[in-house]
Structure formats: C-alpha cells, structure tokens
Chain A
Amino acid sequence: MYQFHYQQGAAGKLDAFPHILEIYAKKNTAIQLQSFPQQVAKGLCIYFIQEGKFEWWVNGVHYFLFPGDTVLVLPGETIGNEKGLLELGSIYCLELNIKPLKQGELVPGVWSGLGQAECAAIGKLLHLKSTSVLSRMSDAGRILTSLFYEIHHLELAYVTRVNQLIDELIIAITRQLTRQCLPARDFSSIFMKLEDALRKDLSHQWTVEEMAAIAGMGTTLFTEKVKGFTGFTPINYLINIRISEATRLLKRRDISITDIALDTGFYSSQHFSTTFKKLTGYTPGEFRKNNTYTE
C-alpha cells in the first residue's frame, strides 16, 4: 500500500473532480495525540479498513472495526475516536461533496451517471440507514484501490473512469446497506421495516424503486412479494396508509385539510379530496364534520 493524501484546492489532481473534497490512503504506524478527534463530516465520507483494529464512534454510536469493514458517514454526522487517537493500521478515505436536500436525502451531482430515479432511491436509503458500518465489504476496498490508481496515474479517460468508480462504490454500499439490515428469508420482518420507513416519511413521494430498494429486492420480485403478503400493490398499500393516517388527522381540529393532504403525501388538497372521496364516499370536509375529536 502506497500512501497519499489529496485535498480539494490543495492538489491539482482533484481539479477535474470538484465533488471530491478529500481522498487518502493512510498507514498509521505510530499513535499520536489528537490524530483522530471526533469531528463533523462536511460531506459524505466513506472509510475502508485495510489493516488493524479500530474503535470509532459514528454519530455517538460505538463500533469496533476490522479489516474489510466500510464506514459510511453522512454530512453533519460525527466521526472519530473518543480519546482522539487513531489506532495502528491502514485505512482508505473518500469524502464527497454531497449535501443533504431539504428532506435529508442525499443526491449525487451532475457528475454522476446515475439516473434521477436511481439517485432519489439511493439518496433515500442512505438517509434512512440504520447502521454506519458495513461488515466485510471487500468490494469497497477493490473499488477504492482502482479509484486511487486512476487519480494517481491520470491515464486516458481517467475523469470518466473516476466518476464511474464513485458511482459503483455508492451503488455497492447502498445495496450492501440494504441487504445487511434485512433478516434473510423473513419477508414479514422486511415488510415491517418498509412499513416503518413509509410511516416515518409519509409526505415523501415514494417510488416503487425506492420501496423495493429498502426491501433489498428488484422491483418485479418486490411487487410480487408485496402483493402476495398484503393483497395490495406497493403503491396501493402506500395510498392505504396515507388515507388511514389522514382519517386519523381529520378527527383532530388543530390541523388544516391542506396540511393533512401534504403531510400524508398527496400532491394537493384536491388530489387528497378526490382520493378520499373515491374510497369513503365522503369529502375530507364532510368526514371531519361528522367525526370530531373531543378535547
């Protein structure tokens, strides 16, 4: 392993990649004070453990890391060692300038070859991550090694190749993140995890691709599984939860119908009203008049 450290603005090698804030390969042979204090990540950071055993805290959660482990830190999250020390060993790090959108989703920039829907799905999954550590992810090490090679050697078409490798890394991490959090074979547990994600963010315009990604499946298999398990297509199940939640909110006086519509993921109060009436026969206003919560 050769060592290097490029930072945006300080190394010409990153001029063609404004989205890379920092990239390094480091072999730590001596423990120094304040070598790895807890710090707030500016962008999306990906660490890969090459050698050694590390004890890090990511956003307050304690992890022991071993070779092959990949650490994912979102912008604004904290990372570091509680005592401020970087243990002996080798690590790779890539920090990307990807800022969270209003809803907390992370969407790669124009440099990425990922489609808009794919970006949205990946961004949503990263935002919903339930762990920061992906165990034994040798793929990340392989991709990062290729990435370093490309940036270091600047061979023909290196710009395209570097951006492709970053996309590949993000895809691999997102897929692994989904699979790792899912109990194999147990679709009811997988479905409850999805249900939880949908309910937590009902105003988000969920796509089937995003929902399938949370379940760690392709859209065809996912749709088939959801239909068998719930009796609904994924989108119909989502509408069902939206109307249920709206029904509950309509019984309270302190929230307007427009707010209910938007909070539960309808495009507008008109869209909400049409969908609600189609199912129940009542407009939201009529329903509210007949069903009021007592204080």
Chain B
Amino acid sequence: MKCIITIELGTNAVRIFAFDLNGSVIGSMKGFYPTFYSQTDYSEQDPEQIFITMLYVLKNLLNEVIHARKYTVASICFSSSMHSLLVVDKNGVPLGNALTWADNRAKKEAREINASPLADTLYASTGTPLHPMSPLLKIAWLRHNEPDKFQRAGKFLSVKSYVIYQLTGAYLIDYSLACATGMMDIRTADWAEEALQYAGISRDQLPQLVSVFAGAGNLKKAYQNSLGITDDTRILVGSSDGCMATLGAGIWNSDKATITIEDSSAVRIAGNHILQDEKKRVFNYLLTDNCFISGGPSNSGSGIFEWFVKQFGDSTGAYDMETCLTTLLEEATKVPPGSEGLLFLPYLLGERAPIWNPDARGCFFGINIQHEKQHFIRATIEGILYEIYSIGRLLMEHRDIKGLSVNGSFATIPFCSQMIADMYNVPVYVTKHNNSVSVGAFLLAATEMGIYRTLDEAAAQVEIDKTYWPQELHHQTYMKYYDIFERLSYKLSDEFARIAELQAHRTQ
C-alpha cells in the first residue's frame, strides 16, 4: 500500500501527517522548536533545530507507523510558514539564525520604501504589501546593519528551502512561497529585477523558482538509509502553509473565502487573477498557472486571547490554560453580542492587514460603570474577530464572499465560528479534518500523482462537518459596533505612533 507524507514546517512546530491514497490519516506526529526573542522586534529560530526536529519526527513516524504497517511512501510534500529568511554562506552553512515572519526589525526600511515611488512599482510587480515581515526588507535591513554578514551571504533562503537543501542538495523555492518574499514578479513568475536592485542582491543568490508540483530531487543516500526511503519516493517542493490551508479548506476558484485563526490569522480567497489593491493592502500569491491566493494576514488571533487569559483568568489551581480558556469562553456567553458597547482593538502585536501599522496598540473603548469582567472577555473575542472581519471587508471590495470555511484552533471553537457567521452574515463551514494545511499538502501531492486531475477536483473532496448559519439581528448589532471599531483603528494612528515611540524608549 502506498501513502503520502506531508511535512508542515510551522511557526512553532513541525507537523507530519501520513495519509493513505484515499485521504485518510494513517498517523501523525509533531515536534516543537522554540522561537527566540533576543530584542524588541526580533524573532529568530535555530535552523539546525528545525531540521533536526523535522528529521527526528519523520524518522519516528516512519519507524512506528509507516514501515510497521508495510506502507511505501509514494510522495513527501512540504509546506512552511511564510516570510522566513535564512542567510547561508557559499557552502550552504547558515550564518546565524533564521528570521521568522514575526521579525519586525526592518520597520525603518518598510517606512522609507512605503513613502517612496518605488512602493507602487514593487507592489504592481510582486503583488505583496511592503512590510517588515517581507524577506525583501529583511535583506535590506541586513545590508544596512550587518554589512559583513551581507557580504558573506551565498544564498538568501526560506526555512523550507534550507530543509530541502539539507535533504537533497538542491536550492529551490516554489512560486507561492517566493511571492511571499516580496521579490518575485507575479506576472512573469520570475525574480523581480527592481526588487533585487533594491535589496542589493543578484538572482544567483536566491534559490531556483519552481512550481509547487516540482520534484526536489532524491534524498541524499545517508538520509535514505537512515529513513528507509528509496529513490522511488518523490520529494515535492510543495507550497506555503497559507496556500495549503486554503486548498485544504476546499475553497477553490469559488465565491467562498477561508479564515484561518491560530496565533495569527488570515483571510484568503482563490481566483484566476490577482487583486491589485490601490492602497497596497492585499497580498497575492501565485500557486499554479492562473491560480492565485489573495488575502490579508493579521497579527491578531488566539495569541491575543491567550494574553487576556493569562492576565485576567483565574490564576489559582493547577496549570491548565485550556480549562481557564473554556471557563472564560463560558463567561463570555453571558453577555449579548456587542458586549453592551465595550470595544476592544486587538493590536497588541501591531497589525498587518488591513491597516498595516506595526505601531498599532491595543485599546478597550467605551467602558462604563456597568461593564463587568464578562464584558471584557466577550469584547476581547469580538475585537479579534472584528479585525478578521475587516480583512474580509477589504476582500469584498474586490470579490463577493458568499460563504466561509474556517480552520485553526480558535476559529473552530463553536462560539467563535457562530460569531464569524454573524459578523460576515454568511454561512460558515467547518471541515471534517481540521488540519487544513496537511490536507492541502495531501491534495497537492495526490494531484501531482494523478489521483485527481486538477486542484479544483481535489478541493472538491474536502468534506464539511458542520455549518453555522448567520443570525440577522446579531449581524445588525455587530455592524453598528464594527463601524466604530473601524473608525477607531484609523483615527488613533497618530496616538499609536506616539505611544509606540514612548514604549520603545521606556528604559531611557
């Protein structure tokens, strides 16, 4: 029997799933790796630990599940989080840690380029917003701040490219992940000359651009021996986690969007053309020929609610975040939609789409003497979801959205799924297999093997588990408050800048 293995190099952990060719999960394992925050705005990971963790988990899954049950591995398909940057020397050896998507050190570069005429040119060619998360700006930061390291750089890679290079010796990046670097011309599927010039690098310092279906070559012999895999196993470059999550949610060339809410969030749609947003707020990633994933990412998500739980949850008793979270969610249901006029701006980590303001900060607004703890709990959840809704509104300027598929731990909490349905006023679907990234990778690999003819056909296989229908009255209430939420998000821009400046210098 054959199986397909999907490897997701996520923000905090590698998750490896094994599927049979019908799409049923045979087994799965995960392995955590840490993120280091050595300074404000820095977010780094050890590439060796990511690689070793991946290897360790893969080996265990193969030994304990795949080989034990006599499966042969037909295909291994990769996905990873976006916007990571790893600099390696000419021998492929890392020159320090990888910077993650959450690394905001290139704020100054982002401000400067967004104020210049080059911003329009770059957005028109790359289709992605210019933000500190973008590897393009991270490279510019490196050139300005660590010239020695910049000079020694052989290649500028993503974490996924590094892991594939370690396994096969090939420097590759798929189109969708390359779009997320801010350096690929989405119209020609080639590196964008103006972006390379701005970064001060040449195209041979970047990995080779390939299709998401491309093979990455064979595993090095030592890994083949260690893992018990032969040249017959196809190693697929795969895509980014965002694109895989969209595919795995069954949203494909339709009038539906997908919402993923984990620590951070995103709203995405798939279509056959890019969305050129006048204000440069929407990202566009090329997945396959004439197939684009467009949308907006948010820094708000379950991480923000966990912050609230840590600060204001019941701190007595055993260590158990989940129980505490469940208790608070129950409390939140005691308050009507709109939290009786209490609003929360969830910008504790700055914000990306739609306001694209790394200086944005959190705020409770409208507090009166009658508000109690449960109002604050509900307002926090509503604030996170208003923010996600604001990205949906932005996408609705370009396309109709008649339904939503939600995935990720936070979005699939029934209370939250219902709230999303009420805010958007459209049905919300939760699929059977909540791990949409892995399902997407499976569908991609299965399509490459010919099990499905197209990705459309593959996406149609995704089964819905539950549907949440919108409640009109709740929608009307939410919209009244959302209007204030949206106005506050933009109106407070000057105050955000001033408070962020003071916070940055609070030790002086």
Q: Given the complex, which residues of B lie within 8 Å of A241, measured CB to CB?
A: 49
Asked whether A163 is an interface residue with its Cβ less than 8 Å from the other chain, the reply is no
Question: A240-B31, A241-B49, A279-B59 known; A231 and B89 CB under 8 Å?
Answer: no
Docked complex: B48-105 residues within 8 A CB-CB of A? 48-49, 51-53, 55-57, 59, 89-94
> A248–B49 Cα gap in the complex (Å)?
9
> Is there contact, CB below 8 Å, between B315 and A230?
no
Most chain-A CB neighbours within 10 Å: which of B49, B220, B309, B313? Answer: B49
Q: Which residue of A lies closest to B222 (CB)?
A: A281
Q: A231-B31, A280-B55 are in contact. Are A294 and B89 (CB under 8 A)?
A: yes
User: Closest CB of chain A to B8's CB: distance in Å?
Assistant: 13
Residues of B within 8 A of A191 (CB): 34
Q: Mark A192-224, 1 if CB is under 8 A from B, else 0.
A: 100100000000000000000000010000000
Within 8 A of B (CB), among A265-295: 277-282, 286, 291-294
* Contact A240 B93, beta carbon cutoff 8 Å: no
B13 beta carbon closer than 8 Å to chain A: yes
Contact B30 A245, beta carbon cutoff 8 Å? no
CA A232 – CA B60 in complex, angstroms? 11
Cβ–Cβ contact A229 & B55, under 8 A? no
Contacts of A244 in B (CB 8 A): 46, 48-49, 51-53
Whether B51 and A251, one on each chain, are in contact in the complex, defined by CB atoms closer than 8 angstroms, is no
When distances are taken between beta carbons in the complex, the residues of chain A under 8 Å from B39 are none
Kindly list chain A residues whose C-beta atoms are within 8 Å of the C-beta of B93.
251, 291-294
| A248 cross-chain contacts in B, Cβ below 8 A | 46, 48, 94
Query: Which residues of the other chain, B, contact A236 by a CB distance below 8 angstroms?
Result: 56
Contacts of B321 in A (CB 8 A): 185-187
Answer whether residue A140 sits at the interface, using C-beta atoms and an 8 A cutoff: no
> Which A residues touch B48, using CB under 8 A?
244-245, 247-248
Interchain CB contact under 8 A, A230 and B319: no
Q: A184 on the interface (CB 8 Å rule)?
A: yes
Q: Are B91 and A279 in contact (CB under 8 A)?
A: no
Once the chains are docked, how many angstroms separate the CA of A237 from the CA of B13?
A: 13
User: Does A171 interact with chain B (Cβ within 8 Å)?
Assistant: no
Q: Which A residue's beta carbon lies closest to that of B29?
A: A231
Contact partner of B32 among A184, A190, A231, CB < 8 A?
A: A231
In the assembled complex, B381 has its CB within 8 A of some CB on chain A: no
**Is the beta-carbon distance between B319 and A190 smaller than 8 angstroms?**
yes
Q: Tell me the residues in window 134-191 of chain A with beta carbons closer than 8 Å to chain B beta carbons.
A: 183-187, 190-191
A291-B223 Cα distance, complex, nearest whole Å: 15
Q: How far does the Cβ of A137 sit from chain B's closest Cβ, in whole Å? A: 18
Q: Is A225 an interface residue (CB 8 A)?
A: yes
A residues near B111, Cβ cutoff 8 Å = none
A45 on interface, CB distance cutoff 8 Å: no
Do A243 and B320 have beta carbons less than 8 Å apart? no
- State the CA gap A190–B320 with chains docked (Å): 12
A186–B310 touching, CB < 8 Å: yes
Report chain B residues within 8 Å CB of A217. 319
Q: Is the interface of A mostly helix, strand, loop or mixed?
A: helix
- In the complex, whether B225 has a CB less than 8 A from a CB of chain A is yes
The reply to whether the CB of B226 lies closer than 8 angstroms to some CB of chain A is yes
Q: Which of B340-367 contact A (CB under 8 A)?
A: none
Are A282 and B222 in contact (CB-based, < 8 A)? yes
A282 to B55, CA, bound (A): 13
Decide: A278 and B226 in contact? CB cutoff 8 A.
Answer: yes
CB-CB under 8 A from B30, the residues of chain A are: 230-231
Q: When the two chains form the complex, which single residue of B34, B59, B89, B220 contacts A293, counting CB atoms closer than 8 Å?
A: B89
Contact residues in A for B59 (Cβ distance below 8 Å): 279
A282 vs B225: C-alpha distance in the bound complex, in angstroms? 10
**Chain A residues positioned under 8 Å from B32 (CB to CB):** 229-232, 237
Bound: A73/B128 CA distance, A: 55
Shortest Cβ distance from B411 into chain A, in angstroms?
20
B143-179 interface bits toward A, Cβ cutoff 8 Å, 1 = contact, 0 = none = 0000000001000000000000000000000000000
Say whether A225 contacts B319, CB under 8 Å. Answer: yes
Taking the nearest CB of chain A, how far is it from the CB of B302, in angstroms?
A: 12
Q: Which of B221, B226, B315 contacts A185 (CB 8 A)?
A: B315
- Per-residue contact bits, chain A 239-269, to B (CB 8 Å; 1 contact, 0 not): 0110111011001000000000000000000
Given A186-B310, A231-B13, A293–B91 Cβ distance below 8 Å?
yes
Interface pair B56/A185, CB less than 8 Å apart = no
Q: A185-B310, A279-B59, A294-B89 are in contact. Are A243 and B319 (CB under 8 A)?
A: no
**A171 CA / B345 CA spacing, docked (Å):** 45
Residue pair B319, A184 in contact (C-beta under 8 Å): yes
B310 contact set on A, CB distance < 8 A = 183, 185-186
A8, chain B: closest CB distance, angstroms: 42
Q: Does B419 contact A (CB under 8 A)?
A: no
- In the complex, besides A185-B324, A281-B220, 12 extra interface pairs with C-beta distance below 8 angstroms are A185-B321, A187-B321, A217-B319, A231-B13, A231-B57, A247-B51, A247-B52, A278-B226, A280-B55, A280-B223, A281-B222, A281-B224
Chain B residues at the A interface, C-beta cutoff of 8 Å: 13, 29-32, 34, 46, 48-49, 51-53, 55-57, 59, 89-94, 152, 220-227, 309-310, 313, 315, 319-321, 324
Can you name 11 A-B pairs with beta carbons within 8 Å? A185-B309, A186-B321, A192-B34, A232-B56, A236-B56, A237-B32, A240-B31, A240-B53, A245-B48, A277-B226, A281-B223
Across the A-B interface, give the 3 residue pairs with the lowest CB-CB distance, nearest first: A281-B226, A281-B222, A230-B32
